[in-house]
Structure 1
């Protein structure tokens, strides 16, 4: 933006500073935004002398408001404070400028905030931007999309009463993408934070974290997030420690605190229970597996997803 000093220098033509300011003020008083401000503040004691003393502020106000009307986009915004538009205020009989973010700036800030709300462990980047608009709806996916909508509505109405979701289906039908669309919608509507965890890699990392002593820190983060997505549960290599001390601890805490969990899996409830009951070291431990499954069965809505493979052949 051209500075007020440069503008005055160009138009001065040897005139005195007062004459220069008078000339500029005459032009500024033709601006509709300035006229609207003076009309609103009529009777508040704003004199011509006050306006003359504040020609630089009036100039910045008019110039930057013009930029906003001819907006070149947020990245190319020429205003001194990029993405902010000025307003005139009469503060204690003195003219001042205040600045507020424009709609484009607000949208960008919300987008960045939204990104910050959604954490992930080993989840593809495309899932972090998933939304219902780009989800390909068809008759086969109708029920799962409706179930996702019901979960969002239920969470927004009463987050401690809503059940989680168990999204079951074949490889590539869009389970993870739908889970991503759900958490993005919650972030967009109410600023709700969430975490998406690709379960096999997360459990592998937890085993490795024993060496550096970060197991408890990572476990606490996953346990306490408002909305948790455990992606591809059942695809991990199961051990008693993972089942009882990691998964069991996460689900017990979330059950006690009424925090909903969304699962995606290629296994239905019975197959997942069989998977949880067996490990190479301990053989079958059906009671412990049933204890985990109780926390999944009774605190989720089972949703079978069908449809063509979204990832292509």
Structure 2
């Protein structure tokens, strides 16, 4: 941003320069912002203002820039997203003026949103689903047929904000494209604003990646520990993955065994709970293992509230 000194350097030499400089200073002293400053600090006299003309000029210039803000990415102030505030006090009979940089509302909002996003991890889920932002009105009005499901999710969010982390999660069951993932991302976003951490995992891709991590124990442990410890864990599209016994029993089983009675786990699925148990009971390697499926479901069924999500298929619209 151009300073007062830069502006004065552009003036012609000689008496005209002095006259124009005096006119510039007179205009600054007559600025409504400076008049407002003098109303706030009655002890502020012309001499103090003249001694601090560069500060006063920057204060008025940045205030006007902020009034006509072109957006953070094109912020014309010296420090992006900041503006100057002036303060006066009398010390030893003399008026002293100081300035400080203040963060603007737009930068505070951006920092808040970045902090919210930093609390949420995603594995193989489209980042746009987590970063686009949401509104309760949009959630409610998007499809009236799923109103009951939306109400259950909103109630859960409100309960968690009031009472803290719940031990029970949600199991969203419904057909393709009804917005199950959308609702869970909304929940993550809302609860991240309240300070909770979260992770969402797209199961088909995650399970395939786990198989390749079998020989990278350090990375596998880091991933599993993160999913164990995060406040809110969502397994998205569970039932669509191609399980093997190792992933089912030693990875999923370990994560769910740790989280039950500690932290809530959430699921979206095209299957109901009974059908999911059948899915977990069969692997291509070992065939039917009913007790293995039942064991995993014992770590899911008692710890979720089932939410049936009905409505229109919104994919591709």
Residue in 1 aligned with 2:182? Answer: 177
Instruction: Give 1:127 deviation, angstroms.
Output: 1.8
Q: Secondary structure, in 3 states, of the residue corresponding to 2:260? A: helix
Stretches of structure 1 that go unaligned for 5 or more consecutive residues are none
Answer yes or no: is 1:244 the counterpart of 2:242.
Answer: no
> How does 1:192-271 map onto structure 2 within 5 Å?
192-213=196-217, 214-257=219-262, 259-271=263-275
Residue in 2 aligned with 1:99? Answer: 101
Deviations 1:42-88 (A, max 9, x none): 35xx4543322211111101111111122222222211112212211
- Equivalent-residue separation in structure 1 for 2:15 and 2:170 (angstroms): 75
Q: CA RMSD in A?
A: 2.6
Residue number among 57, 60, 63 corresponding to 1:62 in the alignment: 60
> How does 1:21-40 map onto structure 2 within 5 Å?
24-40=24-40
Residue in 2 aligned with 1:4? Answer: 4
Instruction: Give 1:289 deviation, angstroms.
Output: 2.3
Instruction: Give 1:20 deviation, angstroms.
Output: 7.9
Q: Secondary structure, in 3 states, of the residue corresponding to 1:247? A: helix
Relative distance call for 1:130 and 1:287 in structure 2 (3 A) is farther
Deviations 1:120-171 (A, max 9, x none): 1111233223634544533321011111101110111123336211000111
Residue pair 1:195, 1:228 contacting (<8 A) in 2 also? yes
- Equivalent-residue separation in structure 2 for 1:110 and 1:65 (angstroms): 23
Answer yes or no: is 1:52 the counterpart of 2:50.
Answer: yes
In the alignment of these two chains, the number of paired residues is 309
Residue in 2 aligned with 1:143? Answer: 148
Instruction: Give 1:11 deviation, angstroms.
Output: 4.8
Relative distance call for 1:57 and 1:130 in structure 2 (3 A) is closer
Stretches of structure 2 that go unaligned for 5 or more consecutive residues are none
Residue pair 1:84, 1:100 contacting (<8 A) in 2 also? yes
- What TM-score do the two structures reach when normalised by structure 2? 0.87
Deviations 1:223-273 (A, max 9, x none): 11111111011111222221221111111222242x222200011111111
- Equivalent-residue separation in structure 2 for 1:241 and 1:130 (angstroms): 37
Residue number among 115, 118, 121 corresponding to 1:116 in the alignment: 118
Residue pair 1:130, 1:177 contacting (<8 A) in 2 also? no
